[in-house]
Structure 1
Amino acid sequence: MLGFYRRHWFDIGGVLAVVVGVVLLLKWKTLPYIQLLMALNFFTLLLHQFEEYRWPGGLPGQMNGGLHKSDMPDRYPANPHSLMLLNTVGAYPFYLLPVFFPDVIWLGLGPVLLAFAQVPTHGLMMPIKLKTLYGKGFITAFFMWLPIGILYIRHIVAEGLVRPADWVYGAIYMFLFGAFVVQGTIRIFRDKHTPHRFARKQLGRWGNAS
């Protein structure tokens, strides 16, 4: 069961995105605006992961082979197990907590600020460094996360919901997630001898190096 989930967590996330999308359509007029935005943020996370890992997919290759110049891009430094953990066990709570606690503004600012950072990461840094036109994940980051984040910040500022401390806490929360959940998980589980390896189709042009 775990092996299946490890290989298909992003596909299951895609199905979950459909379910979440239907629920949001049904609850569109009844959910508080700030909670709706945070739910849309989580919905975008699921689509973002699907874009990165399934369609068009290829992020593992860009990450391991392109950014890290690994000679084992199918397993090092990131592997299917570490990416499953950070993208589900780590990322799901990070994006869901603001949905259930929308009045805790810094909980919402953390994911919003991280989403803003995804735009130049996928849209500029990765294409320039990898000499490609498209960094996997850019479409959902630019066309969904960016406008959702702008609407969220406009709302909390206009309604006087955000305190100066919330910006600080939100930035720290984002940094801790990136440092410990994202980078930490990859570092802890990096293993050149791991049995968990990406399929060649997930590696793109770096597949020939594996």
Structure 2
Amino acid sequence: MRNYWQYVTLTMLIGLGIYMLMSGNADLSFLQAFMVYNFMALLAHQCEEYIFPGGAGVVINRGTYKEVDNFRRYPGNTQSSLIVNYSAYIAYILGIFNPNWIWLGIGLMFFNLMQFPGHVIANNKALNSWYNAGMATTLVLFTPMSLYYFYYIVNQEMVSGWDWLFGLLTFIAMVALTVILPVQKLKNPESPYVWPEIQVQRFDRTMKWARRKS
């Protein structure tokens, strides 16, 4: 499961896409449908990171954590990656069933926007590249969707100061519990949960055309 969870994610993305095309848009309120699409954006982001072009585990270890020598297992590994990616589903699914929890929506949008400095700036700088796996969905889905959500809730007068505060606290809690804690708790220079060769190959293939000319 550690090496194949992303294909379950792809199946979920396809299933939700079919549902929304067939009846979801008519069955759901605007905000609830938006939250479904927001969850689909997360699934698409994970598919970009780990399937096509893939190799995000290597991107994160080499780009985010600057690990050059032991990047196949440290600090992130397949065990922590599974937990990081799947634990985020809890908040996104809660958002679908509780679209009027504006504070939660704000927290999710902040979580989306967190990908921008990571994928667009930090990873590209560390890897000397103009693209890395996860950047396209960050630019095309996460960023515009999150900004539109903020515009919508303000324009519809649905948000209070308390919502912004609790949204920020929710974002901080999500980062701590679904990103920092799993990676830090499970990091081990001798971890048996090594990134498989296919992920390394996907990273290398991407860097062949995405590396900036010196």
* TM-score (normalised: structure 2): 0.89
Aligned equivalents of 1:66, 1:141: Cα separation in 2 = 16
The amino acid that maps onto 1:95 is Y
Q: Distance in 2 between matches of 1:85 and 1:109?
A: 23
Moved over 4 A (4+): none
Shift of 1:152: 1.5
- Aligned-pair identity (%): 29
Task: Give the match for residue 174 of structure 1.
Answer: 171
The superposition leaves residues 76-112 of structure 1 with CA deviations (integer Å, 9 ceiling, x where unpaired) of 1111011101110x11002111110111111111111
Q: Which runs of 5+ in 2 are unaligned?
A: 205-214
* Matching of residues 2-151 of structure 1 within 5 Å: 5-25=1-21, 26-70=23-67, 71-88=69-86, 90-151=87-148
How far apart are 1:116 and its partner, in Å?
1.5
* Distance in 2, Cα, partners of 1:135 & 1:168: 32
Match of 1:208 in 2: none
SS of the residue corresponding to residue 6 of structure 1 reads: coil
Counterpart-to-counterpart distance in 2, 1:139 and 1:148: 13
Kept in 1, the 8 Å contact 2:16–2:40? The answer is: yes
Q: Count residues with an aligned counterpart.
A: 201
Residue range with higher mean Cα deviation, 68-77 or 164-173: 68-77
Aligned to 1:199: 196
Amino acid at match of 2:118: T
Structure 1 alignment gaps of length 5 or more: 206-210
